[in-house]
Amino acid sequence: MNKPKMATEKGVPSNSRVLMLLGQLERMNGETMVREVENARQLTLKILHLIQTQEKSGKEIMSKGSSGMEVILASLENTKDVQTTLNILYILSELVTVGRGRRVGVFVSKGGTGVLFQILITANKESHPSEELMLQLHSLLAKVGPKDRKFGVKARLSGALNVTINLMKQNLQNFKLLLPCLQVLRVYSANSVNAISLGKSGVVELMFKIIAPYSKKNTSLHKVALDALGALLKSKTNARRAVDGGHVPVLLALYLDWHRNDARHRHLLIRKGLLVCLRNITNIKLGRKVFIEADGMRILYNSSTECLPVRTLDPLVNTSSLIMRKCFPKNRLPLPTIKSAFHYQLPHVPAVGPVAQLYSQPPGVDDVVDESDDNEEAEGDTDTENDEDDKDHTANDDIETDLNKLHPIKSPGRPFEELRSYERFFLELYEDFQGHNFECPKAASTKSSSASFSSSSIRSTQPVIVPTAQALSPMNVPIEDSEREHTGPSTTPTDALTSLKLDTIHLTKDQEKKVGFIPEGHTALSSGLSSQGQAIEQELARVLECVSLEQEGTLNAEEGLKGVRQEGSPITAARHIHSPLLLGGIATLRVGGQGSNCGSDCGSEGADDEGGEGAVLEVPDTAALLPLHDPDLYVEMVKGTHSVPQYAEVAYPDYFGHIAPTFREPLLERVYGVQRSKIFQDIERLIHPNDILDKVVYDLDIPSGPVIEENGESLKFNSQFESGNLRKAVQIRKYEYDLVLNSDINSNHYHQWLYFEVSSMRVGTTYRFNIINCEKSNSQFNYGMQVLMYSVQEAISGRPQWVRTGTDICYYKNHFARSSIAAGGQKGKSYFTLTFSTSFNHKDDVCYFAYHYPYTYSTLKMHLSKLEALRTPQIYLRQDILCETLGGNSCPLLTITAMPESNSNDHICQFRNRPMIFLSARVHPGETNASWVMKGTLEFLMGMSPLAASLREAYIFKIVPMLNPDGVINGNHRCSLSGEDLNRQWQNPNPELHPTIYHTKGLLQYLAHIQRAPLVFCDYHGHSRKKNVFMYGCSVKETVWQSNINATSSDLQEDLGYRTLPKILSQIAPAFSMASCSFVVERSKESTARVVVWREIGVQRSYTMESTLCGCDQGKYKGLQIGTRELEEMGAQFCVALLRLKRLTGLHNHQHLLDLESDIIGTQSKVVSSCPTTYVMEEDEPSFLEAIDYSAESNDEDVEPENEQGVEVQENLDQLSDSDNHRDLC
């Protein structure tokens, strides 16, 4: 022990006097202290006085290297005198009270806690222990206990627990001594073993003797007692004791008493303490049952409602809400089965996996809810707000650590003789153009013998119904009497709601209004470019600086749109559709129909009485504004589209088309407390059940469909059209509806994509819609994202566009039970609710809601047909049918490049040897933004700008624009008809179950065999839980960096070429974020396109490009929701990035590009250094810390939360949530 330097008292500076006294005290230790009791008292008293009067004295004792604390603790152990002991305890109390916990840490490290417990046990052996000594010991223990991690264990092993308990029992009325005992008990109880031991000793019952009704006296005692009781009740054993002892009604009565009497809200901590006790008791099933029986729901609901106007009472409201939600009885989803409402029998069922389990499920099994879904100890002691927290801590567990799998190895795959069949898709590699007339424009059209997208080759399987408007003023619909079909009595004027039978439609178009296609203006990108004669270098530099779809072409389109609006008549350029109408009989053509309503309530009164000759529906001619859209052609394409439900209708938005709004759509600012108010409305369903209508207004599971009265009291719904998804609608209150989404076909989950129609609304009334069977634990709807709405009235008035809509939007865990069958074997899980409110501006309107901008398979076919019309003699465009899908739909394959300048050997050789770029999109049907990005890419490639021409001359593009047509057509979110995620089948695709993946991989394998592997492979995707546009790639080095793999330098040999394209995009594309990119290879992604193409085909630049479904938080579009204009712009700028890659390397032979890309990255590093590449999981959105939010992650230590002002952040730790097993990355 380093002894303090001694000196005579005379002449010693005052700041060293305490060291001198400590030196004297040290010399007294042992028998001397027992003999010289009075000297010991005097010395300790002097030290105490110095510490109390001179701050420096305390610092000297606690300074680094000082032995003062050892001397004091040694004296405490050796003294037998009560007064000396008290003096030393006073000294220690003074020392540890200041210092921000550091001094307590020193005290603990020197063994101080053990000494205190030793003194406590010794003092307790006295027949009459000193009350002051017990008080000081417990006060000091209460201060040091929270800083000693082993405090609870030391207390239990030393026997201190029983000492404190007995002391409390003997001094229930001695509040001065009881308070420090309770403070120590609170620390004891933090140890779960101690809590159980204390419960067995009767401490729970003892605590209920201490807590009392409202009183202005001893409030500190009540606060500490409730804290200690709350800690005890975290033990489920103690919670059962409290329930068995009948204490739940007591706690509710006490809370109500304090709530009523604490008018000035001075005792929030006591009221909060009572709620915490109730919260912990209701962690067990028995506690929830007794809580409900004691009318706890009503008590907390009423008290919370009274607290809502006072912001400072939010902690009480939040905890009350948490308890009520936990005790809310788990409800069954209003479905007969969680399987899809549509059935498609697979040609053969996989041997293992979810689909195999689905087919092997015995008949009669209830897969909607478990027999006992309210699990015994649901969401108990150690549950965090979200199981995603654990994923955050172990995120790197998914990183691939097998070096053999991290090195790209070209797999032989299928035998070349088998792959040779794909040679027909690569005619450009073998064609010599000897018979081609390069001077004749018509001869430049290269056609594929297998292409069949023209309307003449479309197979029509059944009539297709276009819902139409009857009296959208000033239009009238004359009807041929001979062509009416009646299913009942003659309809009233309000029944004039009709659909068109498209196989008998006569489509006419005013030829004077027909707009021709001007190639130079088909894309906004090309419209703002300089003349053809300008140098490519200047052109590229210009575009790189200002590439944007908000240029001249778009502005001209917007001006044209405004021109339509400003006309005296709502419609000036219109199409006229003459057709017979099927009045009343359309419901039989729709599964889950609406009686006589065909789902498109654009009608108004008297329409069917005003015209007797023929029906005329005037619709806006959007061809002037949308060169790639033609309603007539779209209808023809629908006839050749095969759906499982055999859809017979066309949705208005797909028929009219969509023009991007001219206004910006910012991320929605979240209103404070919006989620809480919505949850309270949900709780009211249990509190006031008589107010709930519970009326089914739409149901796909009932073929005849519920009959909806024509009284305007209920909305009418429909989703029976291509890409539609809504399974059931239940009217809860007059203006509130619960909506249930349909599962993917041959699946029992993936509820996210929504697309449905609403009609019979009241103008100006606010409706609330709740999507009640969402599965993901968080959503961008909590961070500013809105749903999309399309108004037919607006479209007919010249504004055919999807717009972001909805207020009071939030996403949270609800009370609908999710069965273990649907949750992968996990019990006690719940669904999540997406809720939003909206109002309607037009009478007799038909509106559509969608998760994101719809882009159907028929839309793709229409766009491809239109693109072919844009072809010039200089463009080589070929459309092939890669294969047929399970549902009998064609999967298109496009080849785009530039025609050779002539049929000379040099030109043909250059033509054949262009590097390949392979692009694909829409493997996940719900990621519609991928199709809009692809549309931007295709339009750019077919453009007439010098950039587009240069790009075609540089590369051969192979494009599969829609990898999952069946999923898109049938309204799936993630799967194909096989019930499987196609982007997890690339390792071993089945030709029958996964034909599009099988044959797309075959194309790539063929290219690898002939030594023509693509320079770039990119699969376009959408991301539902991140902002911006970004890329995932594959890198050995970056994967090793993020793991604990022991790798040699040779293992890490890797060219950095994979970074070049994302870096270029981060410089030229305002929506692209390099900081969100990741190049880590994960085990869970080993069967995705990106990883398989990288490993097996040997494509270093193999990417997934993810586009947000929400918006951007950086760059030019920061704070804005993303729209089709920005998505198409992204597709075009991807092309520009490819051209810049070509320009920077300056080489035509792509085999040599690798050698220069390291230099490229080095020259650009200063530009992009602010955007470091990070390893990003799919859940990187900061936690939304509204205290009752069940959906956000609670691991928010390293991020800045997007929380509401005034919310207690620590409340987030008290919440419950389910983990989300479905990951969003591709």
Beta bridge partners of 1104: 1019, 1032
Which pLDDT belongs to residue 1076?
A: 95
Measuring CA to CA, which residue among 111, 206, 197, 128 is closest to residue 161? 197
DSSP-derived 3-state class of residue 487: coil
Per-residue HEC secondary structure of 1188-1224 comes to CCCCCCCCCCCCCCCCCCCCCHHHHHHCCCCCCCCCC
Tokens (6 digits) for 594: 């609406």
CA distance 373 to 329: 10
Strand partners, 766: 839
Active-site entry in 1082, 1106, 1179, 1181? 1106
pLDDT digits (tens, 9 = 90+) for 38-87: 888 999 999 999 888 888 888 888 888 788 889 999 989 888 889 999 99
The residues pairing with 501 across neighbouring beta strands, listed in sequence order, are 465
For residue range 278-316, what is the model confidence (pLDDT) as tens digits? 999 999 999 999 999 999 999 999 999 999 999 999 999
Q: What is the mean pLDDT of residues 1194-1200?
A: 32
The CB-side HSE value for 604 (13 A sphere, CA atoms) comes to: 12
pLDDT in tens, 786-822: 999 999 999 999 999 999 999 999 999 999 999 888 8
Instruction: Give the Cα-Cα-Cα angle 325, 329, 332 (nearest 5 degrees).
Output: 115
Most confident of 168-182, 359-373, 964-978: 964-978
Q: Which long-range contacts (CB under 8 A, 24 or more apart) does 1162-1170 make?
A: 1164/1063, 1164/1064, 1164/1067, 1167/1067, 1168/1063, 1168/1066, 1168/1067, 1168/1074
Q: What is the token pair recorded at 1039?
A: 């994967």
Question: How confident is the model over 317-328, as a mean pLDDT?
Answer: 93
Task: Give the pLDDT band of residue 756 (cuts 50, 70, 90).
Answer: very high
Catalytic residue at 1086? no
Instruction: Give CA–CA dist 1140/1157, Å, rounded.
Output: 12
User: What pLDDT is stored for residue 545 in this prediction?
Assistant: 43
Q: What is the pLDDT of residues 852-901, one digit of tens each?
A: 999 999 999 999 999 998 899 999 999 999 999 999 999 999 999 999 99
Is residue 1163 predicted with pLDDT exceeding 60?
no
pLDDT band at 407 (very low <50, low <70, confident <90, very high): low
Least-confidence region, from 15-24, 171-180, 736-745, 1127-1136? 15-24
Strand order in the sheet with 890-898: 875-884, 890-898, 956-960, 916-921, 1016-1023, 1101-1108, 1029-1032
- Indicate the pLDDT class of residue 381, thresholds 50, 70 and 90: very low
Per residue in 127-143, pLDDT tens? 888 999 999 999 999 99
Of the listed ranges 96-110, 255-269, 952-966, 1013-1027, the least confidently predicted one is 96-110
Please, which pLDDT band fits residue 412 given cuts at 50, 70 and 90? Answer: low
CA-closest candidate to residue 927, choices 723, 1091, 774: 723
pLDDT band at 567 (very low <50, low <70, confident <90, very high): very low
Residues 609, 476: Cα–Cα separation, whole Å: 10
Residue 554 has pLDDT above 70, yes or no: no
The residue-averaged pLDDT of 221-232 equals: 95
Least confident of 206-210, 480-484, 1091-1095: 480-484
Average pLDDT score over the chain = 78
DSSP state string for 1103-1150: EEEEEESSBBSSGGGBTBB--HHHHHHHHHHHHHHHHHHHHHH--S-G
Pairing of strands 1016-1023, 1101-1108: parallel
For residues 822 and 924, what is the distance between their CA atoms, to the nearest angstrom? 20
Question: Cα–Cα distance between 577 and 634 in angstroms, integer?
Answer: 14
Given a contact cutoff of 8 angstroms between Cβ atoms, the answer to whether 539 and 946 are in contact is: yes
pLDDT at position 68 is 87
Cα gap 550→560, rounded to integer Å: 15
122 to 94, 130, 539, 910: CA distances (angstroms): 23, 11, 91, 97
| The predicted structure's pLDDT at residue 410 | 63
3-state SS class at 751: coil
Strand-by-strand arrangement of the 728-733 sheet: 695-699, 728-733, 736-740, 766-774, 829-839, 807-818
pLDDT band at 523 (very low <50, low <70, confident <90, very high): very low
pLDDT of amino acid 880: 97
Higher-confidence residue of 777 and 375: namely 777
Using a 10 angstrom Cβ sphere, with 0-12 exposed, 13-18 middle and 19 or more buried, the burial of residue 490 is: exposed
The pLDDT of residue 1040: 82
Please count the other Cβ atoms lying within 10 Å of the Cβ belonging to residue 9.
9
Percent of the chain surpassing pLDDT 90: 56
pLDDT the model gives residue 441: 52
Q: Which of 428-437, 577-586, 1201-1210 has the highest mean pLDDT?
A: 428-437
What integer is the mean pLDDT of 910-933?
97
Query: Higher confidence at residue 1200 or residue 703?
Result: 703
How many CB atoms are located within 10 Å of the residue 901 CB? 14
Q: Which DSSP letter does residue 12 get?
A: -
Does residue 604 register a pLDDT over 60?
no
pLDDT of residue 646: 94
